[in-house]
Amino acid sequence: MIHFDQVSKRYQSGHEALRNVSFRLAAGEMAFLTGHSGAGKTTLLRLVALVERASRGQVLIGGQNLNRLVRRKIPYFRRNIGLVFQDHRLLPERTVFDNVALPLVIAGARHQEIARRVRAALDKVGLLGKERLHPITLSGGEQQRVGIARAVVNKPPILLADEPTGNLDPELSREIMGLFSSFSDFGVTVLIATHDIELIQRMNTRTLVLNKGSLVDE
């Protein structure tokens, strides 16, 4: 589902964030992406979501070469990828329901469809009944779960998470990771960037290790 072939990314400042990175992730596979901060974890995720384009090499997502995807098709491509951020990135003036509904609204889903899917997503993350609340009134863990519900509400085949447990205590982190692995059980390809080594060791999942932009270990 995700295929990096000799991918390098050099920013205009001259900083080389990724060097000759190659790996494959099958559909339904879950993997961690780790390494010290500045190793290129976020850059790698940004290349998958087409927030950035590779300087060299090829990124293939679901068989589609991202180098050949024209600008105006990027929004439609992104609808296939669920994104979870460390700082949640929720819209503070909108309710939990509206935040989760956002990808469906953008895709032009039908009203009843939106309501049904949003409830299903919120149910999955255990927040049913908090739809009418505003994100600011929720705890950090709950906000992160709203972010996850938003990422999976339109059932994307790929789920990317950038330090999703960065601000959470170990128990909440375990809970969130459990959620992610349940999505991969349903066939979603999940790639999680994290530096929480302890958690990774406990999970016994495939791990990609980046060091100064190079993939050093699997």
* Closest-CA residue to 18 (of 37, 44, 52, 48): 44
Task: Identify the residue among 36, 53, 56, 202 touching another protein (CB under 8 A).
Answer: 53
User: Where does residue 16 rank: exposed (0-12), middle (13-18), buried (19+ CB within 10 A)?
Assistant: middle
Which amino acid is it at 186? F
Task: Identify the residue among 6, 26, 106, 182 touching another protein (CB under 8 A).
Answer: 106
The reply to whether 41 sits near another protein by the rule CB under 8 A is: no
Rounded Cα–Cα distance for residues 211 and 35 (Å): 6
Half-sphere exposure of 41 (CA within 13 A, CB side): 25
Candidates 5-13, 15-23, 68-76, 177-185 — which segment interacts with another protein by CB under 8 A? 68-76
* Closest-CA residue to 168 (of 150, 204, 149, 194): 194
Whole-number minimum distance, CB 86 to another protein, in Å? 14
The reply to whether 83 sits near another protein by the rule CB under 8 A is: yes
Candidates 102-110, 127-135, 171-179, 193-201 — which segment interacts with another protein by CB under 8 A? 102-110
Whole-number minimum distance, CB 77 to another protein, in Å? 8
Kindly state the DSSP code that residue 52 receives in the 8-state scheme.
Answer: S
The reply to whether 74 sits near another protein by the rule CB under 8 A is: yes
Cα Rg of the chain (Å, integer): 17
The reply to whether 68 sits near another protein by the rule CB under 8 A is: no
Give the position of tokens 């956002």.
Answer: 102
Candidates 43-51, 129-137, 161-169, 207-215 — which segment interacts with another protein by CB under 8 A? 43-51
Whole-number minimum distance, CB 79 to another protein, in Å? 4
Task: Identify the residue among 58, 95, 107, 172 touching another protein (CB under 8 A).
Answer: 107
Half-sphere exposure of 196 (CA within 13 A, CB side): 24
Task: Identify the residue among 30, 61, 168, 203 touching another protein (CB under 8 A).
Answer: 61
Whole-number minimum distance, CB 111 to another protein, in Å? 8
The reply to whether 89 sits near another protein by the rule CB under 8 A is: yes
Q: Which is nearer to another protein, 100 or 199 (CB)?
A: 100
Rounded Cα–Cα distance for residues 6 and 16 (Å): 14
Rounded Cα–Cα distance for residues 25 and 30 (Å): 8
Task: Identify the residue among 5, 16, 55, 78 touching another protein (CB under 8 A).
Answer: 78
